């Protein structure tokens, strides 16, 4: 996968697009995941599930914008009960933890890798339905229950798993977030906290001081704290 250590660490941090394949103008995935993803989509189709990507690759800069919009109070922050919280009422450290529940730090999002995607199925939703990417939509009572049940049963056969299947005290449960294990395991192993600190230091991230100061703790609680791939996940690239 990596052409060099330099380019690989740029991929880990979301600072290059050289590893990507564009499915359309909006959505890019890792080029070495294309076959596995197509196989997953074809299999879901036979179960009448139009498996589609709501969000694929995201760059460092895009994640930085999302982060800063939350930190500045421009976009709402939600707690684990789904209630909006007031950014202005929190200390910088409290605010940082509140954002990390749903949004990764720029440089530490699995979406940088291109092998992690948020999925849904438009054919299971009403035409005018606005997808929220909230857990209830994927629960047994939600409109995407059929997709969720299918993923739990079959995704591993194509190399995919759900790193945020359940809340582990870090990132909230994200039943829509799929990860392609053969590539994701390599990126996860390549995580380098010094490189992340350097990238954040060189950025315009809001809350920089408190983030850098608490980066070890943040890495333990959010970045490295994911559900393991099931032991039966296929680890050979298709």
Which of 118, 137, 144, 234 is in the footprint of Zn ion by CB under 5 A? 118
**Based on CB atoms, which residue is closest to Zn ion, 184 or 211?**
184
Give, in degrees to the nearest 5, the angle at Cα 62 between 59 and 66. 135
**Based on CB atoms, which residue is closest to Zn ion, 90 or 131?**
131
Q: Is 137 in the site for Zn ion (CB under 5 A)?
A: no
Collapse the DSSP code of 53 into the 3-class scheme (helix H, G, I; strand E, B; otherwise coil) and give the result. Answer: strand
Q: Do residues 11 and 19 lie in contact, with contact meaning Cβ atoms separated by under 8 Å?
A: yes
Which of 177, 182, 215, 233 is in the footprint of Zn ion by CB under 5 A? 177
**Based on CB atoms, which residue is closest to Zn ion, 3 or 136?**
136
**Surface-to-core class of residue 51, CB atoms within 10 Å of its CB (0-12 exposed, 13-18 middle, 19+ buried):** buried
Q: Do residues 161 and 179 lie in contact, with contact meaning Cβ atoms separated by under 8 Å?
A: yes
Orientation of helix 92-100 relative to helix 60-71, angle to 10°: 130
Closest distance between Zn ion and the C-beta of residue 160, in Å? Answer: 13
Closest distance between Zn ion and the C-beta of residue 118, in Å? Answer: 4
Which range of residues in 2-10, 66-74, 111-119, 227-235 is near Zn ion by CB under 5 A? 111-119
Per CB under 5 A, residues contacting Zn ion are 118, 177
């Amino acid at each position: 996968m990596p052409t060099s250590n330099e380019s690989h660490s740029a991929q880990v941090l979301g600072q290059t697009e050289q590893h990507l394949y564009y499915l359309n103008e909006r959505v890019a995935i890792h080029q070495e995941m294309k076959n596995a993803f197509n196989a997953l989509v074809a299999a879901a189709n036979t179960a009448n599930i139009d498996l589609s990507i709501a969000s694929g690759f995201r760059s460092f800069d895009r994640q930085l914008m999302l982060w800063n919009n939350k930190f500045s109070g421009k976009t709402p922050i939600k707690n684990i009960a789904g209630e909006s919280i007031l950014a202005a009422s929190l200390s910088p450290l409290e605010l940082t933890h509140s954002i990390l529940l749903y949004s990764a730090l720029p440089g530490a999002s699995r979406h940088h890798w291109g092998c992690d995607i948020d999925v849904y199925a438009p054919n299971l939703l009403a035409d005018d339905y606005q997808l929220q990417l909230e857990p209830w939509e994927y629960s047994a009572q939600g409109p995407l229950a059929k997709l969720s049940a299918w993923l739990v049963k079959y995704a591993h056969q194509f190399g995919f798993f759900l790193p945020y299947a359940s809340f582990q005290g870090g990132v909230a449960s994200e039943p829509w977030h799929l990860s392609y294990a053969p590539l994701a395991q390599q990126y996860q192993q390549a995580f380098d906290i010094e490189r992340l600190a350097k990238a954040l230091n060189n950025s315009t991230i809001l809350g920089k001081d408190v983030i850098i100061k608490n980066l070890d703790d943040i890495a333990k609680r959010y970045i490295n704290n994911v559900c393991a791939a099931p032991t039966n996940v296929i680890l050979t690239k298709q």
